Amino acid sequence: MTDKEIREMQRRIDEGIRQAQERLWERARFNRQSLVVVQDGEIREVVPECENNNAPSPTISDPLRTSTRP
């Protein structure tokens, strides 16, 4: 592989990761669920701001609480 091909592949990987993070954030915002993230080297629980008034009630301590499990 040439350097140009490697840079293009890395750019596409980075773009895919960015899109996945954005979709996860939007899903958590819609469902009013919290996300556990690392910020400034510390693990934090974050609840995205919700713009949807019809979203389910917030789950602060358990982000999987509203998910359906068998």
Averaged confidence pLDDT in the chain: 78
3: buried, middle or exposed (CB in 10 Å: 19+, 13-18, 0-12)? exposed
Q: Which of 26, 34, 24, 22 is nearest to 62 (CA)?
A: 34
pLDDT average, residue stretch 16-29: 91
pLDDT average, residue stretch 15-21: 93
Backbone angles phi, psi at 30, to 5 degrees: -60, -45
Per the structure block, which two tokens stand in for 24?
């996860």
pLDDT in tens, 25-35: 899 988 888 88
Backbone angles phi, psi at 8, to 5 degrees: -65, -40
Distance of CA 1 to CAs 5, 13, 27, 54, Å? 6, 16, 37, 50
Between residues 66 and 1, the one the model is more confident about: 1
